[in-house]
Structure 1
Amino acid sequence: MTTENRQIGMLLFPEVTQLDLTGPAEVFAASRRCDVHLIWKTLQPVVTGSGWSINPTRTFHTTPPLDVICIPGGFGQIELMEDDETLTFIREQAIHASLVTSVCTGSLVLGAAGLLKGYHATSHWMSLAQLALLGAIPVRERVVCDRDRITGAGVSAGIDFALHVLEALFGSETAQDVQLGIEYDPAPPYIFNEVAVPTRLARLTQRAHQKQMRRLEATLNAASRLEGQ
């Protein structure tokens, strides 16, 4: 059994949702068996969707071959859907990665890169249906594993997702050790479901309407490009 650390690449892009990125990154780092790279086009600080800056540690050109590539989500994901440089980088890394993964709307970027055709996958609940336009099979689950594709649902699901990735890489003992070490034992103050909170769902959906229309437009454009390939 090799003792070399696995190379984990997290895409860090403008207007990323911070927890989509740092939640899984913290889980991977806590295993002490992963080298976690925060990757963007330059090493200049990247402003997240909340206005905070995070420093990349690698550029596309200095990133080593990755064992796991992970694409988080966030409003900036819309621009990535038509970013040929980024999509090419993802495709090239996916060729030799043992796991191709995403959190939240990052799955739409994987779809735009043509990497989810015929795969079961998930995303944030507001954007889940858009996966079908990119050839994926949408599944409403917190984490979806299909062969070498692992996708997580919205934002907070990134921690669950990362524990699944650790289990796939190193086995359940390592994943359980990390879960205990980070004291991940959720006890949220509120429990929601679609039956109990229809008015809240409607309010949140309406609030995000314009953003979702932009996201849908980007997904439709990506689907058209995939059809032409």
Structure 2
Amino acid sequence: MPLTTQIVLFDGFDPLDAIAPFEVLAAGSDEAGDGLHIEFVSAEGPRRVVSGTRGMALEATAVLDPDLPGHIVVPGASGPIDGDPDDGVDTIPVLLNRFSQSTAGPLLKRALDNPEVTVATVCGGSLVLAMAGLIEGRHAVTHALGMELLEATGVKAVHARVVDDGDLVSAGSVSSGLDLGLHLLHRQYGSHVAHAVEVLFAHERRGTPWLSPTADRAAGREEHA
């Protein structure tokens, strides 16, 4: 059964956080020829989802399914950093917290409990999981401006472009969605597919991914197999 990558959209999401992994994973699947299914989903089901950047919208075509083997990618939010929520200003922390407390929270918990699913995040996506109380004690990264908040929730914040904690993979700033996608390709298909997509996109991954000891040993076995 082909794996599925579900990219979760929510009101106020950051467009590049969603599009960058989509493009990279689609190109990698084409290179590998395995028919990886990639779709935009939402916790509410099919709907038009408006991002936080000038009203740009994407179409969610299905409901988030935590039982599907594969990846679930959680983007961050786009919006003002400063402002008073009491005055109706939807700052990025407000958008992320609202999503974390929505019907998506229990679905993401089920995904993290599913050994056949890898949950991946871009930028503020890890804060969504942290605000929902789902990754306390886990290793993760977020945007530089959110690292203190990540630590305050009990997450072991790691200053790296990509942090691989086994079934939880996170990436830092907005553009790191490209690197997240390439890292997932490397994990799933090997370095030759990831490299082919790097050449196609004229983008080389930045920095060394931080791997948990378990993930590091597994990667080492794969590379030398």
Superimposed CA distance per residue, residues 181-228 of structure 1 (whole angstroms, 9 cap, x where no aligned partner): 2222489xxxxxxxxxxxxxxxxxxxxxxxxxxxxxxxxxxxxxxxxx
* DSSP-derived class of the 2:121 partner: strand
Gaps of 5+ in 2: 78-91, 207-225
Distance in 2 separating the partners of 1:115 and 1:173: 34
User: TM-score, structure 2 length as denominator?
Assistant: 0.74
Equivalent of 2:5 in 4, 8, 19: 8
* DSSP-derived class of the 1:10 partner: strand
Matched, 1:58 2:78: no
* DSSP-derived class of the 2:120 partner: strand
Could you tell me which residue of structure 2 aligns to residue 36 of structure 1? 38
Residues 186, 81 of structure 1: CA spacing in aligned structure 2 closer, same or farther, 3 A cutoff?
A: closer
Aligned residue runs from structure 1 range 73-222, under 5 A: 73-74=76-77, 75=92, 76-83=95-102, 85-96=103-114, 97-185=116-204
Distance in 2 separating the partners of 1:133 and 1:186: 29
CA contact 1:23–1:159 (8 Å) conserved in 2: yes
Distance in 2 separating the partners of 1:14 and 1:102: 16
* DSSP-derived class of the 1:55 partner: strand
Which letter does structure 1 place at the counterpart of 2:126? S
Which letter does structure 2 place at the counterpart of 1:68? H
Which letter does structure 2 place at the counterpart of 1:21? A
The farther-off stretch of 19-28 and 145-154 is 145-154
Percent identical? 28
**How large is the RMSD of aligned CA atoms in angstroms?**
2.0
Which letter does structure 2 place at the counterpart of 1:178? V
Q: Deviation at 1:152?
A: 0.3
Which letter does structure 2 place at the counterpart of 1:17? D
User: TM-score, structure 1 length as denominator?
Assistant: 0.73
Distance in 1 separating the partners of 2:201 and 2:109: 32
Distance in 2 separating the partners of 1:171 and 1:67: 16
Q: Deviation at 1:65?
A: 0.9
Misfit runs of 4+, over 4 Å: none
Residues 95, 133 of structure 1: CA spacing in aligned structure 2 closer, same or farther, 3 A cutoff?
A: same
* DSSP-derived class of the 1:13 partner: coil
Could you tell me which residue of structure 2 aligns to residue 25 of structure 1? 22
Aligned length: 182
CA contact 1:69–1:94 (8 Å) conserved in 2: no
* DSSP-derived class of the 2:127 partner: helix
Gaps of 5+ in 1: 188-229
* DSSP-derived class of the 1:8 partner: strand
* DSSP-derived class of the 2:130 partner: helix
Distance in 2 separating the partners of 1:24 and 1:45: 19
